[in-house]
Amino acid sequence: MPPAVTVGIPFYNARLTLGDAVRSVFAQSFADWELVLVDDGSTDGGQELARSIDDPRVRVVSDGTNRGLSTRLNQIVTLAHAGLIARMDADDMMHRERLAVQVQFLKRNPEVDVVGTGMYILDAAGRPVARRPADTTPLTARRVLTGACLMHATVMGRTDWFRRNPYYDPASKPVYPEAEDFELWCRTFAGSRFARIPDCFYYVNEHASFAMSKYRTASLSVARAQWRHGLELIGFLGCCALSARQLGKYLVHAGAAGLRLQSRMIARRSIPLDAAETAQVAADLERIRSTKLPTGKGAQESRSQGFK
């Protein structure tokens, strides 16, 4: 029997964080999963770390080249054996109930294609500092085009939906680097059903991952996707308003970066944790980090595959 859910983790030079990401999969209360680790041409030894995991539920795929996130996400979809796919980044962790909650949600709501959750925010030292519940305000075209849809790494969706709706092909034009998820939600919104679970079932270190160069690239990609898909959804004037809003956001972030206030900008988007919440989340993180991974000489070989 195929597993209930495929957890897909693309990774590139993430050796320092990949171990904890994988530990959070093994720490799940829901055990009917497979894990597909796709190396995007790492040079830091991350592939060897992935290969060392000795468990029949884990597959490691590497072709030795750097092809980019969109290509690797599409590759995970083609490799999935399960009817559901859970996204995850190699520098994050999952709450131990994440898979159980999302699998049950999709079973109860067969009309939903993709569901996301809220997330906990970790500081640069990996300590919990805040939470960002998922916004459950009903989605409209305008809200999706402003980015109020799904937090990408938290999503679980139906495999057949992702096969019908792949991420953009980096070899085609236009391209959307750093905003491949935003473009996908905008492109598919009219014919899809998205849902959000407000509770937080994902751990992300935004402070360590934020870079102004990436934000600049993402802002350009977002504007490109807004015009490509927004004209039909909200019209020319609506797209003009979105572009003005996006430019304003970029200028604010650029100013904050110049004044070295990025951390404050990131913190404003989240709700600080009180002492009780901090202790609870820290205890869950400790359980994840102390989870032992099955490793040894019997570890499976990495599959060397080309990808079209």
Domain annotation covers residue 281 = yes
pLDDT (0 to 100) of residue 263 = 65
What does the block give as tokens for 229? 């898909």
Residue in the block written with tokens 């989605």 = 139
What does the block give as tokens for 65? 């080249």
Residue 126 predicted with pLDDT over 80: yes
pLDDT band at 303 (very low <50, low <70, confident <90, very high): very low
Measure Cα distances from 281 to 155, 200, 205, 266 in Å: 20, 10, 14, 20
pTM for the whole thing?
A: 0.90
Domain annotation covers residue 307 = no
Residue 56 predicted with pLDDT over 80: yes
Number of domains observed in the structure of the chain: 1
Return the percentage of the chain with pLDDT > 70, whole number: 91
Map the chain to HEC letters.
CCCCEEEEEEECCCHHHHHHHHHHHHCCCCCCEEEEEEECCCCCCHHHHHHCECCCCEEEEECCCCCCHHHHHHHHHHHCCCCEEEECCCCCEECCCHHHHHHHHHHHCCCCCEEEEEEEEECCCCCEEEEECCCCCCCCHHHHHCCCCCCHHHCEEEHHHHHHCCCCCCCCCCCCCCCHHHHHHHHHHHHCCEEEEEEEEEEECHHHHCCHHHHHHHHHHHHHHHHHHHHHHHHHHHHHHHHHHHHHHHHHHHHHHHCCCHHHHHHCCCEECCHHHHHHHHHHHHHHHCCCCCECCCCCCCEECCCC
Instruction: Give the integer Cα–Cα distance in Å for 58 and 19.
Output: 13
Return the percentage of the chain with pLDDT > 90, whole number: 78
pLDDT (0 to 100) of residue 266 = 64
pLDDT (0 to 100) of residue 175 = 83
Across the range 184-194, mean pLDDT stands at 97
Amino acid identity at 136: T
Domain annotation covers residue 302 = no
pLDDT digits 0-9 by tens, 58-111: 999 999 999 999 999 999 999 999 999 999 999 999 999 999 999 999 999 999
Residue 205 predicted with pLDDT over 60: yes
Domain annotation covers residue 301 = no
pLDDT band at 304 (very low <50, low <70, confident <90, very high): very low
Instruction: Give the integer Cα–Cα distance in Å for 251 and 248.
Output: 5
What does the block give as tokens for 179? 């905003």
HSE-up (13 A, CA, CB side) for residue 200:
20
Burial (CB < 10 A; 0-12, 13-18, 19+), residue 268, is exposed
Domain annotation covers residue 147 = yes
* Helices 69-79 + 180-188 axis angle, to 10: 60
**Over the chain, what is the mean pLDDT?**
90
Domain annotation covers residue 32 = yes
Across the range 44-57, mean pLDDT stands at 95
Domain annotation covers residue 304 = no
pLDDT (0 to 100) of residue 77 = 98
- Higher pLDDT residue, 27 or 219? 27
pLDDT band at 264 (very low <50, low <70, confident <90, very high): low
Q: Contact 33/4 with Cβ under 8 angstroms? A: yes
Measure Cα distances from 85 to 7, 36, 72, 255 in Å: 6, 10, 14, 38
Work out whether strand 128-132 and strand 271-272 pair parallel, antiparallel, or are unpaired.
Answer: antiparallel
Domain annotation covers residue 298 = no
**CATH value at residue 163:** 3.90.550.10
pLDDT band at 209 (very low <50, low <70, confident <90, very high): low
What residues make up the domain containing 247? 5-292
